[in-house]
Amino acid sequence: MGVVSLTSERPDFKPCCAILTEPARGVAKAIHYRMPLVLDAENLAPWLGSYLTDRETLHHVIHHLPAAWITHWLVNTWVNRPN
């Protein structure tokens, strides 16, 4: 499985990255309305393929992991401190 992200180089030549998200499903809905897009190996290859450029086609080809596979646990606040 892999978290889907995009990487690029900014005009000032510094690297940048964006983690792609989707609407939260399963237990993730209790934490936030969005969650990282996670794909298994079977769905990762089509996602990375340059031949899939149409959004509707992607929705038919890429399949989500079952919501029952999503789990969570508490972590210390030092792990994610937004300030």
> In the 3-class helix/strand/coil scheme, how is 31-61 assigned residue by residue?
CCCEEECEECHHHHHHHHCCCCCCHHHHHHH
7 vs 38, more confident: 38
| Domains in the chain, number | 1
Domain presence at residue 44: yes
Domain presence at residue 30: yes
Domain presence at residue 31: yes
Q: What is the pLDDT of residue 16?
A: 79
Domain presence at residue 62: yes
pLDDT tens digit sequence for 25-55 = 889 888 889 988 888 777 777 777 767 777 7
Phi, psi torsion values for 54, nearest 5 degrees: -90, 125
∠69-51-4 over CA atoms, to 5°?
Answer: 30
Q: Strand locations in 40-82, DSSP E?
A: none
Instruction: Enter the pTM of the model.
Output: 0.63
- Identify the domain containing residue 23 by its residue range: 2-69
